A and B are shown apart, each in its own frame.
Chain A
Amino acid sequence: AQSVTQPDIHITVSEGASLELRCNYSYGATPYLFWYVQSPGQGLQLLLKYFSGDTLVQGIKGFEAEFKRSQSSFNLRKPSVHWSDAAEYFCAVGGTNAGKSTFGDGTTLTVKP
């Protein structure tokens, strides 16, 4: 069975500081990995995805993530956080780009001025 763990329920960073959100997955084959962002009361927006190839993936809004097979991780990073980045972040794993995904419990990001 596939699963996703986001160890950090809530993270607070200062504006301009760097950010790393952790994601560990369990999947029996080569995974499709995703990071989504959700603002309060809104749907999900895809930040980036990994299917194959280069393990360092660039996404929108200055985010990147690195796939590390040996650690079963797909951590999300941003070098300098903006106040508008405050939101809920979800990591997800799936078998294909069209198949059903399993989501982690999410990490709430708070940005201090």
Chain B
Amino acid sequence: GAVVSQHPSWVICKSGTSVKIECRSLDFQATTMFWYRQFPKQSLMLMATSNEGSKATYEQGVEKDKFLINHASLTLSTLTVTSAHPEDSSFYICSAWGKRPSDTQYFGPGTRLTVL
């Protein structure tokens, strides 16, 4: 199956700093990428949908100025958590969909963010 990677897998930062998380489709071109957030013992909540070359579409309640998403190429999308605070600590997961393979989304392994 197709492979999606995320970097870093785990990051710890101080409150007030910004953190960038990368999501890459390694062996296919991802025209659409999704960013999810998952709190411990909870389900995935969609944060935003990004299409290559256009602005991301954010779900209701998600602050677009706090969670900056850039889908600059067909293989890379980034999520930047700006001025992170402890309540932003979570597991962030991306998924990618492309024309080939087109059967489903492929999920990355996730990034655990801890804000001190």
Contacts and interface: CB of A to CB of B under 8 A. Distances in A.
Interface of A: 34, 36, 41-46, 49, 90, 97-98, 100-106
B43 A97 contact: no
B87 interface: no
Interface residues of B, number: 25
Given A43-B108, A44-B93, A105 B43 contact: yes
Given A100-B49, A105-B43, A41 B104 contact: no
B interface SS class: strand
B54 interface: no
Given A34-B104, A101-B105, A43 B43 contact: no
A103 B103 contact: no
A97 B34 contact: no
Given A103-B43, A103-B44, A43 B102 contact: no
B107 interface: yes
B24 interface: no
Interface string B63-100: 00000000000000000000000000001010101000
